[in-house]
Amino acid sequence: MRSLVSAELLKLRSTRSAWIPLAAALALAVVAVLASTTAAGPDATPHLSPATLPGLLRGSGGQLLDGAVLLCWIVLSAGEFRHRTAVTTFLAEPNRLRVVSAKLIAAALTGAAVGLLAEALGAATSAAALSAHHVPLAWSQPGVLGAVTAVPLLAALFGMLGAGLGLLLRHTAAALGLALMWVFVIEGIIPALTHEPGIIRWLPEAAANAVLHGASPAATTLPAGAALAVLAGYAAVLAGAGAALTVRREIGTTTG
């Protein structure tokens, strides 16, 4: 399994359209902190204080980072069929469940690593920016550990969601389109369509927000632990469906 995961990570490193979004998300992790701290000051709004730190760390991750990891693994997994590299992949390892497992592990590792790196960059930038504003750094406050834990966890799950979606649809543009439609349209209209406003808390984007920011006072979101479990459930369902179809489907070639 280690060699299969290693092959998947080599595919990532050698596919520009997969790693450029990750690099961009890491750059934005720094920019997000700089933008927040440059616009703010001790006398301005928002007010910079030691309590600002967890928010800055959460801002280094969040939707952009999750979206980048999702995009990366959609490109990699659906791209196997677009470029027909699935042929060489399944000739080298005909046990397709092992290949799918390796992809999911590599996707989770990528998300966790990029999430940790984003938090490291966010922490370093936050320390420099807050120090420049003479704001004391309070690393031991509870929100810091929560952000540093939640960001890599979420990114790992979004990596698995991307890999599962790519395997399920096997069409890069369709998978990317569906992901964007989900974030910007579908998740927003589901409560209206179902006449169940409370259903939103069970949907992926809302669950991810709940993991990152905690439950809202109005109880419109799930507790962070439950939201994480819901998101893991979505990842498991997509990965399972992608795996089932990958095992059953035939692999075509251009020659017949």
Partner 1 sequence: MSTIAVEALTKRYGTVTAVSDLSFELAPGRITGFLGPNGAGKSTTIRLLLGLAAPTSGRATINGRPYRELRDPLRRIGALIDPNVFHPGRSGRTALRIAARPARIPGQRVEEVLELVGLGGAAHRRAGGYSQGMRQRLALAAALLGDPETLVLDEPANGLDPEGVHWLRGLLRGLAAEGRTVFVSSHLLAELAQTVDDVVLINHGRLVAAGPMGDLLGRAGAASLEGFFLDATSPDAPPAHPAPTRARSLS
Residue 35 or 92 with smaller CB distance to partner 1: 92
What is the closest distance, in whole angstroms, from the C-beta atom of residue 256 to partner 1 in the complex? 3
Residue 20 found at the interface with partner 1 (CB under 8 A): no
Residue 250 found at the interface with partner 1 (CB under 8 A): yes
Applying CB under 8 A, the site for partner 1 has a residue count of 29
State which of residues 6, 141, 216, 220 lies at the interface with partner 1 (CB under 8 A).
6
Q: Which long-range contacts (CB under 8 A, 24 or more apart) does 78-84 make?
A: 78/165, 78/166, 78/167, 78/169, 78/170, 78/171, 78/172, 78/174, 78/175, 79/15, 79/17, 79/18, 79/166, 79/172, 80/166, 81/170, 81/171, 82/170, 82/171, 82/172, 84/252, 84/253, 84/254
State which of residues 134, 136, 193, 255 lies at the interface with partner 1 (CB under 8 A).
255
Residue 21 or 59 with smaller CB distance to partner 1: 21
Q: Which of residues 95-134 bind partner 1 (CB under 8 A)?
A: 95
Give the span between the Cα atoms of 228 and 68, in whole angstroms: 19
Residue 11 found at the interface with partner 1 (CB under 8 A): yes
Q: Which long-range contacts (CB under 8 A, 24 or more apart) does 33-39 make?
A: 33/59, 33/60, 33/122, 33/125, 33/126, 33/129, 34/125, 34/129, 37/126, 37/129, 37/130, 37/132, 37/133, 38/129
- Tell me the CA distances in angstroms from 171 to 118, 181, 186, one per residue in order: 29, 15, 20
Backbone angles phi, psi at 138, to 5 degrees: -115, 85
What is the closest distance, in whole angstroms, from the C-beta atom of residue 82 to partner 1 in the complex? 9
State which of residues 38, 88, 141, 194 lies at the interface with partner 1 (CB under 8 A).
88
State which of residues 23, 51, 92, 181 lies at the interface with partner 1 (CB under 8 A).
92
State which of residues 14, 140, 142, 193 lies at the interface with partner 1 (CB under 8 A).
14
Residue 140 or 253 with smaller CB distance to partner 1: 253
Task: Give the SS3 label for residue 81.
Answer: helix
Backbone angles phi, psi at 249, to 5 degrees: -75, 155
State which of residues 43, 45, 94, 195 lies at the interface with partner 1 (CB under 8 A).
94
Per-residue mark of binding to partner 1, 38-77 (x: CB under 8 A): ----------------------------------------
Residue 31 or 245 with smaller CB distance to partner 1: 245
Contact residues toward partner 1 (CB under 8 A) are 3-4, 6-7, 10-11, 14-17, 79, 83-85, 87-88, 90-95, 250-256
